Structure 1
Amino acid sequence: MNPNTMSPAQSRAARALLDWSSGDLAAKVGLGEDVVTGFEAGTGDLASGQIEALRSALMNAGVVFAEDGSAGVRLSGRGGDEGTRLGALTTENDR
């Protein structure tokens, strides 16, 4: 998969991570909700620029697309506190 494209499954997964509806994503890029739902259902024929606009909106919200050739997505760690890792727990910070 080209690094600047996105599959329908990745779009659905990314929206779920962000708790966005298809309408939310569509509004971010100025497209109709039917365009997003069609793309995600595999029935829409979007131009590569439209797919890139959707992908960019998701990335700007913190979604990271897997770079290993898989179809994975995750949220970036920016701004979040992951807590203390198990190996770093001490009697002082285990409260």
Structure 2
Amino acid sequence: MRFSRLVWNYSMMGSHRPAVLASGFGKNDELISPAQCRAGRALLQWSQQQLADAAHIGVVTVRQFESGAAEPRHATLDVIKRAFEAAGVIFEARGELVPGGPGVRLAEG
């Protein structure tokens, strides 16, 4: 992932973590939506547990993301997207190949 600017947030306890102010996401680096996640699972006929296993995350994370109950960190969305791509799912940005919203399809072969 490329970030154009990174800052550090300090909590009251003195710990810190990076926070993205502006990112350098290109078309192929865009994050996926909950609908694309559900569609990707449907294409692969994966359960939420199978996606969680492939992405090495908890099934609750998948469930909450797909339902819109929580917004995962960018790193979590990235590992979900990479798990799908490793299985042959291609994510298309809004209007990338055809007019309309973002899409999902299987790679040929």
Please tell me the TM-score bracket, short chain as reference.
0.7 to 0.9
TM-score normalized with structure 1 length:
0.75
Identity %: 37
Amino acid of the structure 1 residue aligned with 2:75: G
The structure richer in helix per residue is: 1
Residue 45 of structure 1 and its aligned partner are, at CA, apart by 2.5
Work out the CA distance in 2 between the residues paired with 1:30 and 1:66: 23
Work out the CA distance in 1 between the residues paired with 2:108 and 2:74: 28
Runs of 4 or more, structure 1, over 2 Å off, are: 1-4
User: 2:103 matched to 1:72?
Assistant: yes
Aligned length: 78
User: 2:27 matched to 1:27?
Assistant: no
Provide structure 1 residue ranges, at least 5 long, that are not aligned to the other structure: 79-95
User: 2:69 matched to 1:38?
Assistant: no
TM-score normalized with structure 2 length:
0.66
Which residue does 1:84 correspond to in 2?
A: none
Structure number with the bigger relative contact order (C-alpha 8 A, sep ≥ 6) is 1
Rg larger in 1 or in 2?
Answer: 1
RMSD over aligned Cα, in angstroms?
Answer: 1.8
